[in-house]
Structure 1
Amino acid sequence: MEIKLPRYFKYVIILLGIFLAIWVLQTFKSILMPLAFALLIALLLLPFTRDLEKFRIPRALAIICSIVMVVIVLGLVIWFLSMQVMSLTSELDAIGKNFDALLMKVQDYLYHNFGIQPANKSELFRNTVGGLREISTTFVGSTISLTTGALTVITVVPIFVFCFLYYRDHLEQFMYKFVSKERRSSLNHTIDNIQLVAQSYISGLMIVIVIVSLLNSAGLLILGVKYAIFFGVFASILTIIPYIGIMIGALLPALFTLATTGHLIDAVLVVLVFMFVQFLEGNFITPYVVGSKVSINPFAAIVALLIGGEIWGAAGMIISIPMIAIMKVIFDAYEPLRPFGFLLADIDDIKDQKSGRFRKMFDKLREKAKRKRYEDEQETDL
């Protein structure tokens, strides 16, 4: 006999489940975070692996080839960025002198125009050195912790990706155990939608990064900024953190330009270049490349970024958008959770769906009217 619960009680249970899920994500971060990244990478590599298997390549070898391809691409990107950083550090002395001269100009301007006495140089130097010592200590500790965590992730994630792809049929049969045979078609549809969302987001994001890096580098080269390609690629990679990533990426080249040239207008022009590229990326590039597959409204995306950053830090911010898009697919497929899917949906997509339904209804009525008119004309001829 089925027990019917009040609707409000169901929603209370759902909210308690969400809070419990957040607690689990925070508590088992070291295990769940590599699993989440491995799942997304596995969904991205699944079509390529299937194509290799069609050529009678064993599944294990096809998966290894896919993983090696990803590792080579990431290795080349890391090698390029590291070489640029090493070249950039050779100019730190000149940058420090330029900042010192720029600071003197600012102090003279404040003194002559507002009567603000310049700070004592020895005191300023002592405070700066003390601050740098504290920052360097924190930075070294954070670097050791980050390096250890990165090595762990680099080692574990490929293993998880291999397992997801190799045992995908077994995992599919495992999910079938939770549903009846009549509902397996609906489950297959949901799984296909999840795979489509993940692949569309990740592959589209890679294309967006390439296009944005070309636009950033071209703009900086036109302005004559040194290391323009490095700054352009670095800022484009930060677009994986939606909305705020490219702004963080614009800060570094702006400060570098200000330090090397000493002119504020040059730094402002650099910021304007990144703002223009951000406008193109948000209004034309990303909507055209990614399309409406990841149809999350901006408010839900920002909340997801904050929650992801609070739970898993920078990695949580990176993975928050594709994960909330996958959650929306699950919410839309399960009747009690559909209000949450509606809450996450983009308003423009909802309007397009409604207009599409109205257009279909209008076409059916018009077709019916044509058929009725044709039948009346046939009867008149008889």
Structure 2
Amino acid sequence: MTELQKRWLLVLTVVMVAFVYLLLPILAPFLAGMLLAYMADPIADRLEAKGISRTGSVIIVFVGMTLLLILAVLLVLPSLGKQIETLTSLLPEGWAMLQQKVVPLIEHWTGFDIDSTTAVKAKQAITGNLQQTTDVVAMLISQATKSSLSLVTWIANLALVPVVTFYLLRDWDVMVARIRDYLPRNLEPKVSLWASECDDVLGAFVRGQLTVMAALGAIYAVGLALVGLKLALLIGVLAGLASIVPYLGVIVGLGMALIAAIMQFDTWLPLVWVCVVFGIGQMLEGMVLTPNLVGDKIGLHPVVVIFAVLAGGQLFGFVGILLALPAAAVIRVLMLHLFRHYKDGPLYQNDALLDAVVDNHQSGELGSGADEDNGER
């Protein structure tokens, strides 16, 4: 890069960061639309390769995504609400079992006396939070309708998502080609290479990992429903979401499912079937889902995944959560290239740098000695 290009890159980076920071409150629908367009672009490309026009391909994909969303809203959300209500009703029984069986064991093993008043307060807090969660849709609607301005903003943001998705999906390849044409010619090959590697990583995560999460959630929910667990859908959804961190989904899901099975059944056989369900899910994830849908392109350590999600939420709220893992995946690719450049440079190659300094010093001494000899002559 030339010095002028470095200055312009610095200015552009500062402007982009300031742009995102100042417009953060309105970016959520655009980011959601961009995410949906990015996920659906390969499907539209395949349809276009079969002879369908780009607009026709986008319409087919868009209609399919809309039907899936409507199906999820009409079938999944009401069932989740009912299962949360079931969990609330089972909580007193579970709390009584906890106080009668688990608390005495903890006190015996640790020697710590658990105050009954503290237990009652914890029970009230958990029950209150669950009761609020059961009516989360009504709470969102009530918050959105407190004023006419907030209602209009809420509806506008919701309506913007499909509009942004449609137009971005239709013009995705055109925008990518235009950005490539605007790049400086001496930087275009390397930037295109980096962008291609970032696209591989993002594709593995956005299209692959999210699909694995959805598939695992469905496997766990269906399997637990076959076992007869009342909270099958709720536990399946939570386990699928937790699967964004490797092994966290099976730990969270299996623990919740075993507790729910102990509360619901009087025999030990359902506990075995619960373990079988999660064992099958792990086998399918390890041998089928992850190798075929994700591969080894993400390469993010589980601790990095947790930190990225928490940091994104802390810094930018919901928008930060949306951006956290894609940004972490892109940063990983860029850092790999930077570290490779660093290891090939003089800052890392200390021996080579020292040899170069010694050679320059010796050549300087030889030069000065030659000058002295010439002066004496």
TM, length-normalised to structure 2:
0.62
Which one of the candidate residues 65, 68, 72 is aligned to 1:73? Answer: 68
**Among 303, 307, 310, which residue is 2:314 paired with?**
310
CA distance in 2: counterparts of 1:24 and 1:278, whole angstroms: 43
User: Post-superposition shift, 1:291?
Assistant: 1.1
CA drift at 1:62: 2.4
CA contact under 8 A between 1:240 and 1:318: conserved in structure 2?
no
Deviation at 1:141, TM superposition (A): 5.6
1:173 to 1:83, Cα distance in 2 relative to 1, 3 A: closer
Offset of residue 88 of structure 1:
2.6
Q: Which residue number in structure 1 is paired with residue 339 of structure 2?
A: 339
Q: How does 1:136-155 map to 2 (within 5 A)?
A: 136=132, 144=142, 154-155=158-159
Alignment partners' CA distance in 2, 1:338 and 1:323: 16
Q: 1:164 aligns with which of 142, 164, 168?
A: 168
Selected match of 2:39 from 40, 44, 58: 44
- TM-aligned CA deviation for residue 78 of structure 1: 3.5
- The one-character-per-residue Cα deviations of 1:240-288 (angstroms, maximum 9, x if unpaired) are 4666566555565455445434899988996897599569747985355
Distance 1:213 1:223 in 2: 15
Measured after TM superposition, the shift of residue 182 of structure 1 is 5.1
Going from structure 1 to structure 2, the CA distance change for 1:142 and 1:264 (only over 3 Å counts) comes to farther
Question: Structure 1 residue 132 and structure 2 residue 128: aligned?
Answer: yes
TM-score, L = length of structure 1: 0.62
The residue that corresponds to 2:325 in the other structure is: 321
Question: Matches of 2:282 and 2:45 in 1, distance apart?
Answer: 36
- In the TM superposition, 1:347-358 aligns within 5 A as none
Please point out which of 242, 260, 264 is paired with 2:264. Answer: 260
1:29 aligns with 2:21: no
Question: Could you tell me how far apart the structure 2 residues matched to 1:183 and 1:106 are?
Answer: 67
Identity of aligned residues (%): 20
Q: 2:95·2:123 contact (CA, 8 Å) conserved in 1?
A: no
Q: 2:91·2:127 contact (CA, 8 Å) conserved in 1?
A: no
Paired with 1:263 and 1:109, the residues of 2 have a C-alpha distance of: 22
1:196 corresponding residue in structure 2: 200
Q: 76, 85, 97: which one pairs with 2:80?
A: 85
Task: Indicate the residue corresponding to 2:355 in structure 1.
Answer: none
Question: Are residues 109 and 326 of structure 1, via their aligned partners in 2, closer, same or farther at CA, if it must alter by over 3 Å?
Answer: closer
The one-letter amino acid of 2:76's match is L
Residue 294, structure 1, aligned to residue 298, structure 2: yes
**TM-fit CA distance, 1:204:** 1.8
Residues 33 and 312 in structure 1, CA contact (< 8 A), matched pair in contact too: no
Distance in structure 2 (CA, Å) of the matches to 1:184 and 1:191: 10
Distance 1:291 1:236, change over 3 A: same
Shift of 1:328: 3.8
Amino acid at match of 2:213: I
The SS at the match of 2:300 is coil
Name the amino acid aligned to 1:157.
V
Alignment size in residue pairs: 331
**Distance between the aligned counterparts of 1:264 and 1:26, measured in 2?**
54
Q: Distance in 2 between matches of 1:146 and 1:105?
A: 44
Shift of 1:290: 0.9
1 CA distance for matches of 2:46 and 2:196?
17
**More deviation in 225-234 or 147-156?**
147-156
List runs of 5+ in structure 1 lacking aligned partners.
Answer: 344-382
Deviation of 1:46 after TM superposition, in Å, equals 1.8
The 3 A distance-change label for structure 1 pair 65 and 268 is same
**Distance in 2 between residues matched to 1:170 and 1:108, nearest whole Å:** 63
Contact 1:294 1:322 in 2 (8 A): no
Say which is worse superposed, 161-170 or 271-280, in terms of deviation. 271-280
Tell me the amino acid that sits aligned with residue 200 of structure 2: L
1:293 alignment partner, SS class: coil
**Contact 2:27-2:319 within 8 A present in 1 as well:** no
Answer whether contact 2:33 2:165 (CA < 8 A) is retained: yes
Residues 173 and 130 of structure 1: CA distance in aligned 2, closer, same or farther (over 3 Å): closer
1:213 aligns with 2:208: no
Q: Distance in 2 between matches of 1:111 and 1:55?
A: 64
3-state SS of paired residue (1:50): helix
Contact 1:301 1:321 in 2 (8 A): yes
- The AA in structure 2 aligned to 1:49 is A
Mapped partners of 2:129, 2:272: distance in 1? 31
Shift of 1:181: 3.8
